[in-house]
Amino acid sequence: MADNRSEENSEINESLSLQLSEIEILQSMFTEGKELNIDLVGLTAIQDYLSGGTNIPNRIAFTLKLFPSDNSNCGDCLEVNCCLPQRYPQELPEVCVKSSSFTREIQKELNESTREFLTTLEPGELCVVTIVQWLQEIWPDFYERSVKLTKCNKAQDAKTGNKEAQKKQSLSRIWLYMHHIYSKTKRKHIIEWANESKLTGFSLPGKPGVVCVEGDSTDTEEYFGRLRHLNWKKITCRHKEEIGQRKFGDFKELVFHVHGSGDDRMDFGEFFQFLTKHDLGEMFKILFGIEGKLNSNS
């Protein structure tokens, strides 16, 4: 049994070492902060473990923005969201791509093509750089097709009285519950990704952590998927609802700390008052399992 455990730890060490080496290659190829954004919590966890730590990291995620080359007509970037499982490269990475210039059909097709490309790769071989180079070569073609399809759709809308544009937008609101939200990197992603997808709502860092986003139903689902790829102790969707209109005008981070406590404990009374103000008081029990109460001085 001890030999099996030692062999398993050795395989994990080798996988994590290879992951770090490929991350270093990406760091040399792309500018961090502008093109490359790495989950620093996951990266630090791997470095700590390889330095003798006992907590085995689950996975590391990063986002890469591929900008068009000088000879390309693309006016946008391709966002590549990649998640490396603990046993990568023995297991293939999870890769999802998106671009604000793509129609939903083109984006779906490119993601399907990417999944098919992944199946042609040999497990055990470092492949992230290969995937990135492949995407750099093919995504301008998808961009051109998307531009043509958009023009065609606009022309069709004009002929039919723009009926599709007049259809009521499908809106939803989702409530996410985290064991805690402390990481500055995660707090930055929570806000930036919500703004990128034009979602409104709020994030509530601390222990526990809460995120509420509302907007187009597809965008809220994609947002949850992106957050779920980060390294959390616990993240769940406590509630999802279809809505007729939004409750919030923008997305912002809130802070409700107990005054004079000297720590980051949440002031549940202030949070319940905030929810009640927005006609969302019933969500307190759904999130925490207890009835909300206003502070005595409210």
User: For the segment 76-102, what is each residue's pLDDT rounded down to a tens digit?
Assistant: 789 999 999 999 999 999 999 999 888
Whether residue 274 sits in one domain with residue 204: yes
Residue-wise pLDDT tens digits, 121-164: 888 899 999 999 999 998 888 888 888 887 777 766 666 554 44
198 is a domain residue:
yes
Query: Same domain for 72 and 208?
Result: no
Domain's final residue, options 159, 185, 211: 159
- Residue 280 near residue 241, CB atoms below 8 Å: no
Does the structure show a pLDDT above 90 at 268? no
| Same domain (yes/no): 96, 214 | no
pLDDT of residue 192: 95
Strand order in the sheet with 200-204: 235-243, 171-178, 209-216, 200-204, 251-253
If asked whether residues 84 and 181 sit together in one domain, one would say no
Say yes or no: 150 and 246 in one domain. Answer: no
Q: Encode pLDDT of 41-85 as tens digits.
A: 889 999 999 998 888 888 899 999 998 764 445 557 899 999 999
Whether residue 189 sits in one domain with residue 96: no
How much is the pLDDT for 92?
A: 92
Where residue 181 sits, what CATH number does that domain have? 3.30.70.100
Q: Pick the more confident residue, 191 or 101.
A: 191
The pLDDT score that the predictor gives to residue 169 is: 63
77 and 68 Cβ atoms separated by less than 8 Å? yes
Average pLDDT for residues 106-124, to the nearest whole number?
90
**Count of domains in the chain?**
2
Mean pLDDT of the chain: 86
> DSSP label at 93?
P
Task: Say what the pLDDT of residue 165 is.
Answer: 46
Q: What is the pLDDT of residue 141?
A: 87
Whether the per-residue pLDDT at 31 is higher than 80: the answer is yes
Q: Could you tell me the CATH number of the domain that includes residue 150?
A: 3.10.110.10
Which domain does 132 fall in, by range?
Answer: 2-159
Task: Say if 164 falls within a structural domain.
Answer: no
In this prediction, residue 296 carries a pLDDT of: 58
Q: Which of 159, 184, 204 is the last residue of a domain?
A: 159
Residue in the structure block whose two tokens are 């040999």: 122
Q: What is the mean pLDDT of residues 218-231?
A: 92
Last residue of a domain, one of 103, 127, 159: 159
The Cα 283–Cα 226 span in angstroms is 23
User: Is position 295 within any domain?
Assistant: no
Inside any domain, residue 297: no
pLDDT digits (tens, 9 = 90+) for 235-257: 999 999 999 999 999 999 998 86
